[in-house]
C-alpha cells in the first residue's frame, strides 16, 4: 500500500472506538505543543511590540543625534558655523538649534511641578525634528500668536492635567539655571509668564508629564542667553539605526570642544534590558515545548507497548524496520504539526485581541507606556513553529527506534 505508514500512524493516533477521534493521550500531547507555541508567540509579540513602540515614541520626541559643547551647562556658542559644518556631514538629513533646561512650572503658586523646557525653531530645519514640530508645521499645534500677547507654550498632556491648565490659561515658568542671588544670598530664579496654546501627547508617560515647548528666542530670553548661544544642535539622519556612525563622523568633523550623543547610546540600557528579557522569556517558554516533547515520547512509548503484538504481525507480513520507524515518526510529526498549527492560530488570535481591545493596562510611571503594545514579526513566528516541530520530531526518535527493533516472534508472543 502506497501510504501504508501514514494509514497505520493515523489509526494509532485515533481512539479505539471506530478510530474517529483522537485518543486522550494524543490530545494531551497535542495540547502541550499548542499551549507552548501559543504562549511563546504571544510573549515574543509583546516584547517585540514593546521594543518597537518605545523606539517609535523615543524617535518621535527626540532627534537622532545631539551635538553639545564642552563647558558649564549645555551651551553651544557660535552655533551657526557649527550647524553648517554638521549639515555637510554625509548621512545628515536635517539639523537645528535647540535649548533644553530644567524648570519649575506653576499656575497659582500653590502647586509647583518640575518640567523639562525645550526651546525649538520649528522652521529652521529641512524636515521636522520631532512629532511636535511636525504638528506645528501642519498647523494642528501652534506656539503663537496668543490672545494675551504672552509667549506661547505647549504642555505635555499629563503635566497639563496635574497643573489643571487648558489652552488659554497662563503659566508661570521659573528657570532653574542662571539663578541670581540677593545681597543676603537668597536665590532669585528668573520667571516668565506664558500662555498655554495647546497640549501634546507622545504616549510616553515620562515625556507627557514633564516636557514643555516654546520658541527658541523665548527660551534664550528666559535663560539670559545671547542670539549666538543655544543648548545644542539636534540632528536627524536618514536611517535612525545609522545614528552612531553619523555621530562619530560629526565628532571627526567638529573636533574639540564639541561632542555628540546618539539616541541609541542614550537608551542603550533600556533596549539592552528589553532584548535580554525577550531572550530570557523565549528560553523559559521553550521549556514548555520541551515538556510537551517528553509528553510525545511517553505517548509513543505507550503506543509501542500497546501495539507490540500488532507490530510483530506487521513485521512478520514483510513490513521492514524502516517502515515501522516511519510509522511512529509520522505520529510524532503529526502531533507536532497539529499542536504547532493550533498554537499559531491561538497565538495570532490572542495577539490580535491584545492589539485590538488593549486588554492589558500598564502603570505608565513604571513602564513608560500605559498600554501593552504587540507586534509579531514573520521571522519570529516562522522560527517558533520550525523549532517546535523539530523538537516534536526529535522526540519521536527513541520510541520509533524501539518499535523498529522489535523481533516479530517476540512481539507476537507479547502479552
Q: What pLDDT, in 10s, does the model give residues 259-277?
A: 999 998 888 887 787 778 7
Examine the fold and report which residue of 255, 287, 316 is the final residue of a domain before the chain moves on: 255
> What is the per-residue pLDDT for 22?
59
> What is the per-residue pLDDT for 368?
61
- Same domain for 284 and 356, yes or no, is yes
> What is the per-residue pLDDT for 1?
46
**H-helix or E-strand spanning residue 250:** helix 243-254
- For residue 258, the cross-strand partners are 69
Indicate the burial class of 332 (C-beta count within 10 angstroms; 0-12, 13-18, 19 or more): buried
**Own/partner pairs, 108-111, CB within 8 angstroms, 24+ separation:** 109/172, 111/162, 111/163
The single-letter DSSP state of residue 242 is G
- Same domain for 231 and 293, yes or no, is no
Examine the fold and report which residue of 224, 255, 286 is the final residue of a domain before the chain moves on: 255
- Same domain for 249 and 274, yes or no, is no
C-alpha cell at 413: 508472543
Examine the fold and report which residue of 231, 255, 279 is the final residue of a domain before the chain moves on: 255
How many residues are present in the chain? 415
The single-letter DSSP state of residue 240 is G
Q: How many domains does the chain have?
A: 2
* Residues in the chain where the model's pLDDT stays below 50: 1-2, 18-21
Indicate the burial class of 163 (C-beta count within 10 angstroms; 0-12, 13-18, 19 or more): buried
CA dist., res. 345 & res. 338, Å (int): 11
- Same domain for 357 and 247, yes or no, is no
- Same domain for 93 and 169, yes or no, is yes
Residues 153, 214: contact at Cβ < 8 Å? Answer: yes
- Same domain for 282 and 378, yes or no, is yes
CB count within 10 Å of CB 376 equals 20
The parent domain of residue 196 ranges over 71-255
Residue 30 counted as domain residue: yes
C-alpha cell at 306: 500497546
> What is the per-residue pLDDT for 108?
78
Residues 48, 227: contact at Cβ < 8 Å? Answer: no
CB count within 10 Å of CB 393 equals 18
Residue 18 counted as domain residue: yes
Q: Cis omega (within 30 of 0) on the bond before 355?
A: no
Residue 265 counted as domain residue: no
3-class state of residue 380 by DSSP? helix
- Same domain for 224 and 303, yes or no, is no
Indicate the burial class of 216 (C-beta count within 10 angstroms; 0-12, 13-18, 19 or more): buried
CA dist., res. 122 & res. 98, Å (int): 10
> What is the per-residue pLDDT for 19?
45
CA dist., res. 29 & res. 295, Å (int): 5
151 Cβ partners below 8 Å, 6+ apart?
143, 144, 192, 193, 194, 195, 214, 215, 218
Residue 129 counted as domain residue: yes
CB count within 10 Å of CB 171 equals 22
Give CA angle at 343 (334, 42), nearest 5°: 150
115 Cβ partners below 8 Å, 6+ apart?
102, 103, 104, 105, 156, 159, 210, 211, 212
- Same domain for 90 and 232, yes or no, is yes
Ramachandran sector of residue 109 (left: φ over 0; alpha: ψ -120 to 50; beta: rest): left
Cα 246 to Cα 55, 128, 267, 327, 381, distances in angstroms = 18, 19, 17, 59, 33
3-class state of residue 394 by DSSP? helix
Cα 82 to Cα 93, 230, 254, 257, distances in angstroms = 15, 11, 7, 11
* Cα–Cα nearest to 52, from 379, 384, 373: 373
CB count within 10 Å of CB 82 equals 22
The single-letter DSSP state of residue 22 is B
Pairing of strands 187-188, 180-181: antiparallel
- Same domain for 53 and 75, yes or no, is no
Amino acid at each position: 500500500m502506497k501510504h501504508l505508514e501514514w494509514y497505520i500512524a493515523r489509526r494509532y493516533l485515533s481512539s479505539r472506538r471506530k478510530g474517529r477521534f483522537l485518543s486522550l493521550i494524543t490530545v494531551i500531547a497535542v495540547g502541550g505543543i499548542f499551549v507552548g507555541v501559543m504562549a511563546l508567540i504571544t510573549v515574543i509579540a509583546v516584547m517585540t511590540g514593546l521594543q518597537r513602540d518605545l523606539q517609535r515614541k523615543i524617535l518621535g520626541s527626540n532627534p537622532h543625534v545631539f551635538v553639545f559643547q564642552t563647558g558649564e551647562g549645555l551651551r553651544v556658542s557660535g552655533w551657526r558655523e557649527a550647524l553648517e559644518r554638521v549639515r555637510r556631514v554625509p548621512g545628515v538629513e536635517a539639523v537645528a538649534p535647540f535649548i533644553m533646561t530644567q524648570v519649575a512650572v506653576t499656575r497659582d503658586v500653590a502647586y509647583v511641578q518640575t518640567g523639562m523646557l525645550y526651546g525649538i525653531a520649528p522652521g529652521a530645519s529641512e524636515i521636522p525634528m520631532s512629532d511636535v514640530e511636525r504638528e506645528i508645521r501642519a498647523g494642528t499645534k501652534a506656539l503663537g500668536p496668543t490672545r494675551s500677547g504672552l509667549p506661547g507654550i505647549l504642555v505635555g498632556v499629563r503635566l497639563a492635567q496635574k497643573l489643571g491648565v487648558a489652552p488659554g490659561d497662563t503659566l508661570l515658568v521659573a528657570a532653574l539655571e542662571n539663578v541670581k542671588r540677593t545681597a543676603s544670598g537668597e536665590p532669585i530664579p528668573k520667571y516668565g509668564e506664558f500662555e498655554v496654546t495647546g497640549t501634546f501627547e507622545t504616549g510616553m508617560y515620562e515625556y507627557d508629564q514633564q516636557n514643555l515647548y516654546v520658541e527658541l528666542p523665548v527660551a534664550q530670553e528666559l535663560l539670559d542667553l545671547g542670539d549666538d548661544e543655544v543648548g545644542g544642535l539636534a540632528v536627524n539622519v536618514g536611517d535612525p539605526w545609522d545614528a552612531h556612525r553619523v555621530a562619530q563622523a560629526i565628532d571627526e568633523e567638529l573636533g574639540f570642544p564639541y561632542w555628540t550623543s546618539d539616541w541609541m547610546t542614550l537608551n542603550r540600557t533600556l533596549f539592552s534590558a528589553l532584548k535580554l528579557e525577550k531572550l530570557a522569556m523565549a528560553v523559559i517558554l521553550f521549556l514548555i515545548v520541551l515538556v510537551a516533547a517528553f509528553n510525545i515520547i511517553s505517548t509513543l512509548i505507550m503506543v509501542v507497548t500497546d501495539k507490540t503484538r500488532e507490530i510483530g504481525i506487521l513485521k512478520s507480513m514483510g513490513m521492514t524496520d524502516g517502515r515501522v520507524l516511519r510509522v511512529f515518526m509520522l505520529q510524532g510529526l503529526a502531533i507536532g504539526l497539529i499542536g504547532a498549527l493550533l498554537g499559531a492560530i491561538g497565538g495570532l488570535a490572542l495577539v490580535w485581541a491584545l492589539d485590538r481591545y488593549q486588554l492589558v493596562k500598564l502603570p505608565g510611571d513604571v513602564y513608560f507606556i500605559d498600554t501593552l503594545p504587540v507586534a509579531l514579526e514573520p521571522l519570529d513566528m516562522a522560527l517558533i513553529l520550525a523549532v517546535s516541530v523539530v523538537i516534536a520530531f526529535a522526540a519521536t526518535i527513541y520510541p520509533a527506534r524501539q518499535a523498529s527493533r522489535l523481533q516479530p516472534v517476540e512481539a507476537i508472543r507479547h502479552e
